């Protein structure tokens, strides 16, 4: 994510690793393990790295959760 994109993205538009884990009903360490092993589930976008922390755009996570719920039903 470029400096310009970071400055235009507010914190409310970002999802942290722990918040994503909560949304997926997983532990944050599971998400970190997936990132470390480069084994993210299909459809889950790669996070943006800001200050050495991983963040996902909320719109991307909303889209993933919608797709995920369609496949589970």
- Residue with the bigger pLDDT between 23 and 68: it is 23
Q: From CA 15, how far away is CA 43, in angstroms rounded?
A: 16
Break the chain into its structural domains and give their ranges: 3-72
Distance CA 51, CA 69 (A): 31
Averaged pLDDT of the chain: 86
Write out the E strands in 1-73. Answer: 14-16, 48-50, 53-57
% the chain with pLDDT above 70: 81
Q: What is the CATH number of domain 3-72?
A: 1.10.1660
């Amino acid at each position: 994510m470029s400096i310009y994109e970071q400055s235009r993205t507010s914190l409310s538009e970002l999802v942290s690793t722990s918040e994503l884990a909560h949304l997926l009903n997983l532990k944050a360490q599971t998400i970190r393990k997936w990132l470390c092993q480069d084994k993210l589930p299909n459809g889950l976008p790669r996070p943006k790295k800001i200050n050495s922390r991983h963040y996902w755009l909320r719109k991307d996570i909303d889209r993933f959760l919608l797709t995920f719920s369609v496949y589970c039903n």
